[in-house]
Amino acid sequence: MKLMCNSCSKLCTSKISLFKPLSLEEQKELISKARHLDYKRGETIFYEYDIADKIIIIRYGKLKINRYSMEGKEYVLDILAEGDIYGEQNIFSGKAFETNAIALGECGLCLISLTDIQQLILKNPEIGIKILSMVGQKLSVANELVQLLSVNDAKARVAGFLLFRSNRIKGQTIELTRDDISAYINIRRETISRKLGELCKEGAVKLEGNRKIYVLNRDILRDIFENKI
């Protein structure tokens, strides 16, 4: 069940480099038009083929961007966390979303309409330039993921994913279930658990339950990954 949040103690736009050219008053005006929604774990924010008519800012929590094959197999394309933005790649295309977005635990979002963003670009062209830059950055991340998935060795792929994800979140603590990692890098859950155990014994990572992985030694992970590229 979606719930409207009563307030945003800090403007969600203030966390996003895209909106830094805006004055505080302009940010407040934009947020006043936005929808501020809270989701529970497992709820869907949008579905594949829904009209791509909004930009989504993650206020707190995480959400999963995924797609399903004709056979029902899940492929995770990205996992977004606080301060991330999604939908800017659709601003100029006029197309539908090509993915689903699902809340991973409790998640709060700001939804800004396509119309408001387009009007903002007309008033402040620098926003349009930043959007194009962000789209380019996401293409670069997508290329990294393609390289990662091209590695056949399971342990190297897990090591590469941990490097990829820690770079993506700019931190050393990865909070994902084995199932989510499995869908992300297309390796069986049991294999991921086994390879994480090996990396733990080698001192590359520390494991805490089924959801937390602490990256302790990036050099070990990099050597394992790069030796199999």
More confident residue, 160 or 136: 160
Q: What is the pLDDT of residues 177-192, one digit of tens each?
A: 899 899 889 899 999 9
Q: What is the pLDDT of residues 146-203, one digit of tens each?
A: 788 888 999 999 999 999 999 888 899 999 989 989 988 989 999 999 999 999 999 9
Q: b/e string for 14-26 if b means 16 or more Cβ within 10 A? A: ebbebbeebeeee
Q: What mean pLDDT value characterizes the chain?
A: 84
What are the C-alpha distances in Å from 128 to residues 12, 23, 33?
19, 16, 19
pTM of the model: 0.72
Residue 66 · residue 103 · CB < 8 Å = no
